[in-house]
Every structure is written in structure tokens, then in C-alpha cells.
Structure 1
Amino acid sequence: MSLLTALASDLVALAPTAESPKPGTNWDAPPASPPGMDNIMPEWVGWAKYFAIGAGILGIIACGIMMMVGRRNRSHLSAEGANGLLWVLGGLSVVTLAAGVVPAIVT
């Protein structure tokens, strides 16, 4: 088994390697938007965030209605509404934080 491991190690050492990036080339350039997308992309992100917040508002209303209707003799419906409220608030948190968190991680 050790002969196989040594052979594999020798083969890996002989394999061609990729050229490492040189300082001062485009490898270390900050991310840039494609040509023509400077104005379009922020608009799309704004629309997506607007619709997501609208859906979140409707989701909270739906959860509230489920909790009100399920108050008497339908405790399962009320529990589903309360559980759904947590998911709606979690989704709204992700949508709201996305524009700030993603650029912080990527750059």
C-alpha cells in the first residue's frame, strides 16, 4: 500500500501546475459590473427587494388570520399560523440583510 501511495505522490508532483497570478495584473482587480449593467442591476435588486417585502407583509397578514381563525376548536391552524410567522420573519430578515451581507463576504 505504501508503494501505491509513493507512486501517487510522485505522479502528483510531476503534474503540470497552473501559473500563479502576478501582482499588478487583473487578478487583484476589484469586482466590476459588465458594460451596460451599471444602472440596470441596482434597479432589478430594488424591484426584487420591493416585491419580497410586499410578500412578507402579505405573509404576516395571512399568519395573523390563521391564528385568529384557529383560536377556537382549530388549534392546529393557529399553531401553523404561529409557525409560519417565524418563517416569514426569517425570510424578511434574509431579504433585508442580503444587500449588505453579500458584498461584505465577496469582497
Structure 2
Amino acid sequence: MILMHLSDAVALAPMVDPNWDAPPASPPGMETILPEWVGWAKYVAIGAGILGLIACGIMMMVGRRNRSHLSAEGASGLLWVFGGLSVVTLAAGVVPAIVG
């Protein structure tokens, strides 16, 4: 078994460029396309959230009489819809805060 000193291992390690952690930069030609895609995705997600809230409300109205399980499913669905909408609306602020 060969034992190496730490100083030998550091000397043998390849030199790493100190500027490896560059800020994010968009590829050429994507400066306008990616923000447009993000805007479309956010628009679709908010539309799906509106439809989800409507569906939960209908489930709660229909389940009011003798179908309490359906009403409870509609009420619990509200939490999932609000959670999903929160993630969608906070994504643009949270991701840069974590990454950068």
C-alpha cells in the first residue's frame, strides 16, 4: 500500500482556474427567447391555478349534501392549489436567491 503526504497530493492535483464560478450568461440568441418561455409557463400555471380553484369550489358545492367526502376532497385540494400557485409565483425570486 502506497501512502502519500497531503503536500504530494496537492502538488499532483491539476491547477483549477480560479474564475470557474462565472455569473450565469445566456447562450447567443436566447436573450429574448428564454424570458418569453418563462412568461408563457407562468401564464399557463396561473391559468391552471384559476381552473383548479374553480374545480375545488364546484367539488365543495356538489359534495355539500350526502357526499361529504367529495366536499372534503375539494377543501383539501385548495391547499394543493394554493401551494402550487405559491411555488409558481415565488420561483422567479427564490431561485436566484439560492443560486446567486
Q: TM tier, shorter chain?
A: 0.7 to 0.9
CA distance in 2 between counterparts of 1:18 and 1:36 reads 34
Which aligned runs of 4 or more in structure 1 are off by greater than 2 angstroms?
13-22
CA distance in 1 between counterparts of 2:65 and 2:21 reads 63
AA paired with 1:43?
E
TM-score w.r.t. the length of structure 1 is 0.80
Tell me which residue corresponds to 1:3: none
Tell me which residue corresponds to 2:42: 49
Q: Tell me the CA shift for residue 18 of structure 1.
A: 4.2
Tell me which residue corresponds to 1:21: 17
SS in 1 for 2:91: helix
What aligned pairs does 1:79-98 form with structure 2 within 5 A after superposition? 79-98=72-91
CA distance in 1 between counterparts of 2:63 and 2:14 reads 63
Tell me which residue corresponds to 2:63: 70
Aligned length in residues: 97
1:31 aligns with 2:24: yes
What's the RMSD between the two structures over aligned residues? 2.1
Gaps of 5+ in 1: 1-6
CA distance in 1 between counterparts of 2:75 and 2:68 reads 11
Gaps of 5+ in 2: none
Query: What are the Cα deviations for residues 8-46 of structure 1, in whole angstroms up to 9, with x where unaligned?
Result: 9x37x6765343333xx4x24211011110000000000
